[in-house]
Amino acid sequence: MTEPVLSLRDVRKSYGRHEALKGVSLELGRGEIVGLLGPNGAGKSTLFQIASGLFAPDGGEVRLFGMDYRHEASQILSRLGVVFQSRSLDLDMTVKANLRFHGNLFGLSGKALDARIAEAAALFEVTDLLDKPVRTLSGGNQRRIEIVRALINAPDLLLMDEPSVGLDPTTRKLLVKHVQQVRDQRQTSILWATHLVEEVEHADRIALIVGGGIIRTGTPAELLAAAGADNLTDAYIALTGVKPGAPAMAEAG
Ligand code: ADP
């Protein structure tokens, strides 16, 4: 088997006495779209922050492309695209200026950078927005630009933490479509954290996370079969015991 793009083994993380991740294991292969699905408070952002190298786990192993952040952080980051939950574009600059700045951080410039920007913008159908100040864009378009930005370094792995929060259903659907195109065209692996079942319906696999643990991982068809359900929302409720939109049980205590 080829090296997994992302490999988490028995990853643990506590905030004070609160165990946010209780020994999580997850692997992503090349070109795979995996939905990390769970309610608020399940530990998705914590897992995400560990996978993106923002902080180290208390225990367990984190490897990206077979490498370890402790020794090869810059090599890992050069192959990683990250879309955080909070917005982080400069509102007063144009879209293109934002993208160029980001490309410069990866050592890209000139024609090579412009080609990357043009290619990524075309994938997300935002070419006509490139010269506009970010401030003039809708929330949905700003989000699309953030994902375009995360693609400028042509990452092998794209990590997205609840990228569609605050977007209308049409824009959310468009995001799903575009992200699939990225995978289809570039064989990019994608980890998509969300609490919305419909966003992961077309993922290759879904990892269900509840109360700091991944309780099950499988293809959508496998989860349906395991739950004896005919739709993923019912399967999610049956397997996790959590109603979509409800806070995590683990948060109550
Ligand atoms: P999700 O992204 O699934 O909503 P999080 O990873 O943000 O879950 O949070 C997991 C748990 O850890 C929650 O109970 C949350 O309240 C707690 N938590 C997250 N960040 C912190 C923090 N900085 N300090 C203390 N507790 C935290």
**Ligand 1 pocket check: which of 15, 196, 242 to mutate, most ligand atoms within 8 Å of Cβ?**
15
Atom 10 (ligand 1) nearest CA:
43
The Cβ of residue 18 has, within 10 Å, a number of other Cβ atoms equal to 11
Q: pTM score, two decimals?
A: 0.92
Using CA atoms, how far residue 236 sits from 164, 183, 214, 228, 243, in Å, is 19, 25, 13, 11, 8
From the CB of 40, is ligand 1 less than 6 Å away?
yes
Domains and CATH numbers, the chain: 1-79+156-253 (3.40.50.300), 89-154 (no CATH)
Residue 246 CB neighbour total at 10 angstroms: 13
Per-residue pLDDT of the chain (253 residues; tens, 9 = 90+): 578 999 999 999 999 999 999 999 999 999 999 999 999 999 999 999 999 999 999 999 999 999 999 999 999 999 999 998 888 899 999 999 999 999 999 999 999 999 999 999 998 899 999 999 999 999 889 999 999 999 999 999 999 999 888 788 888 888 899 999 999 999 999 999 999 998 999 999 999 999 999 999 999 999 999 999 999 999 999 999 887 655 544 443 3
Phi, psi of 107 (to 5 degrees): 80, 15
> Is the shortest distance between the CB of 58 and ligand 1 below 6 Å?
no
Nearest CA, atom 13, ligand 1: 41
> Which atom of ligand 1 sits closest to the CA of residue 212?
10
CA of residue 29 to ligand 1 center, whole Å: 27
| DSSP assigned state of 200 | S
